[in-house]
Amino acid sequence: MSDIGIGLCAPLMVGALLALIAPRLRDLLPPRSAAWLLVSAAVVSTGVWVAGLAMIGSTIVGQIPEVAEAGRWSPHTLAAHAPFDRPVGTACALALVACATALVVASWRRVTGLVGMWRECRDLPTTGDVTVVDDPAPAAFALPGAPGRVVVSSGMLRALARDERQALLAHERAHLRHHHHVFLLVLQICAAVNPMLRPLAKAGAFTLERWADEEAADIVGGRPLVARAIARAALAAKRPPKQTLSATSGPIPQRVTALLAPRRPARRPLVATVAVLMTACCASTALAAQDVDALFDAATSSSRPVAARHSPTAADLPETAYGTPTATWTTSAAVVPDTPIPASAVQYGHARERTSWNCATRAARNAANPSSTASGAAIMPTR
């Protein structure tokens, strides 16, 4: 593998490493810090993945004659220095198209699902930011919008005690206050574009629920109360909503266990390590982009046409003492790679240069001594 190939593989490998270790952050950091780091790692890994596929695929797409003609580079030079074989580059180009399709489909499904839920709930009576639906099935979720609202069914309100209702509503309001739906949308889109990030997206969704749990505990003043509220709500609800965040989403036993355990301390060295790893991903991608740009520059310079041979005119020739231009001759040859210049042509050019020099020397000597010219001495070139 060439140096360019290694440079292109480096960001992909670092991004894969980041995608593998990032899900472990959910159990090592406080929920708020873990959520921000997971979303940042997802964005960086996805960007590195897409950029790597684009750079590898561009070296194959650039070899298409029509594309090379439009870009004014040599497809043969590009093919000779391509870091990967044609099947690998073609696979990367097709994977890039698949990533773009997945991005559009995931975004469309997510946005249309939220818009549909909002249209269904916008005409319901609202008390403050809470909308109560007359439905015996227990359900509660946060619905984003302008403004967002908490939707809860009458069945859920009957299943919980008064203080547990306050904890449940505080949990859902935390989702709206910190815009957790944006976090979840980014995680889902990144997982759709890069399938390796699906474990990271699941860990991120769990961390968002834990963030809302801790926020609700700070509001109601008791973490055991929030643990009891989400446990009873999960037991009462048949299934959590898929398109939005809810107190009954995620692995409920792990959330209850985390609420009953002491809070996790902030580990700044771990956060700094992940930040350095993300910076390395971005830096390696930038270096790989410079290598690919240099490859196309080399292909562009090799495709420039060879300059036409210049034939000297009278205006280009220097004048002698008599005012007439001297017959100077120069040799010029088009430089063609791997094509040697015949020795006979070189010898012939040197002979013509010697003839031109002798003619110019004899003319200058006659100008200094006109008597030699008057005596009828002929000026003959000396070879």
Tens-place pLDDT, residues 314-367: 454 455 444 544 444 444 444 444 444 444 444 444 455 555 545 555 665 665
Residue 248 has pLDDT above 80, yes or no: no
Q: Give SS3 for 265.
A: coil
**Token pair recorded at residue 296:** 């196309």
pLDDT digits 0-9 by tens, 91-134: 888 999 999 999 999 888 888 887 877 777 777 777 778 888 88
Helix (H) or strand (E) holding 142: strand 140-143
Distance CA 117, CA 97 (A): 31
In whole angstroms, give the CA distance from residue 178 to residue 211: 10
Instruction: State the average pLDDT for the chain.
Output: 77
First-to-last CA distance in the chain?
56
- Angstrom distance (rounded) from CA 167 to CA 153: 15
pLDDT at 383: 42
4, pLDDT greater than 80: no
3-class DSSP state of 311: coil
Share of the chain above pLDDT 90, in %: 21
Lowest mean pLDDT across 82-91, 264-273, 287-296, 338-347? 338-347
Its pTM stands at 0.71
Axis crossing angle, helix 86-121 with helix 31-61, rounded to the nearest 10: 140
Give the model confidence (pLDDT) of 50-59 as tens digits.
988 888 888 8
The answer on pLDDT for 65 being more than 90 is: no
